[in-house]
Homo-oligomer: A and B are copies of this chain.
Amino acid sequence: MQHPVSHSRHSKQSVALFKGLTEEQISAIVAAGHPRRYTPTTPIIRSDEPALHLYLLQTGHVNFSRVAEDGRQILLGRLVPADVFGLGSLVADTVRYIGTADTVTESEVLIWERNCIRRLATACPLLAENALRIALHYVGVFVKRHIALVSDTAEERLAYTLIQIGSRAGHMLPAGLEVDIKNEDLASLADISVFTASRFLKSWEREGALEKHRGKVLIRCPEKLLVA
């Protein structure tokens, strides 16, 4: 699975964690972090481990998930460049990671140790405030997903998920918006079975709304997904 695609290195300004900081502050913080590269399908953190590190994804894609008691792995989100994870490392008493992060593609991350990033946050309170905003954002995201799960149909959830993941992790092509994602992951994000996902995707393909290839979806007409 080699990707000639550029795993777009984000600009520093687009990092939500750095919002409002000066160039100098950002540079100092970035310099304090350790870069690291992971091969595809490698675990970076595991859920319930003590949150000892903060991570900033620079290139590549990462699945954030959690396993249910019955063993099924439930995707909570897909992380893209400029996303951070391991926010628990910023609080005083040791909290634990909420989910497991596994690389999907080869990925580069910037890592700070707990004490290091906490020291930086003390010197620069905006960092803590940004972390709070991000955390609240995720609360909103999960509430929304929850509401959708109890009040929308499987088809509506899949359509919404596809649009959402497309706008975040997709890349523009002449033919449309392409997303590198398997049916299995799409299904998990939409909280439906792979079979149901396949059925709806196929039906949209027949209507010309998208094209399906192994591990890829090419969205041609996003508006066609939301109608029927």
Say whether, besides A129-B90, A129-B92, A147 and B68 are in contact (CB < 8 Å): yes
Interface of A is mostly: helix
| Contact among B68, B87, B136 for A88, CB-based, below 8 A | B136
Say whether, besides A136-B87, A139-B139, A139-B142, A66 and B129 are in contact (CB < 8 Å): no
Contact string, A114-140, partner B, CB cutoff 8 A, digits 1/0? 000000001001101101110110111
A146 lies within 8 A of B151 (CB)? no
A149 to B69, CA, bound (A): 12
In the complex, how many angstroms separate the beta carbon of A48 from the nearest chain B beta carbon? Answer: 10
* CB closest chain-B residue, reference A69: B151
Say whether, besides A69-B151, A150-B68, A92 and B136 are in contact (CB < 8 Å): no
A98 at the interface (CB under 8 A from B): yes
A191 at the interface (CB under 8 A from B): yes
How big is the A interface, by class?
35 or more
Chain B residue numbers with a CB within 8 Å of A131 are: 132
Chain B residue numbers with a CB within 8 Å of A69 are: 151-152
| Contact among B20, B74, B91, B151 for A132, CB-based, below 8 A | B91
Say whether, besides A128-B128, A129-B91, A136-B95, A146 and B145 are in contact (CB < 8 Å): yes
In the complex, how many angstroms separate the beta carbon of A226 from the nearest chain B beta carbon? Answer: 13
Contact string, A60-78, partner B, CB cutoff 8 A, digits 1/0? 0000001011101010100
A133 to B139, CA, bound (A): 12
Say whether, besides A125-B125, A139-B142, A90 and B191 are in contact (CB < 8 Å): no
What are 15 A-B pairs at a CB distance below 8 A? A20-B92, A66-B147, A69-B151, A69-B152, A76-B143, A92-B126, A92-B129, A92-B133, A93-B133, A98-B143, A125-B125, A132-B135, A135-B139, A139-B139, A149-B149
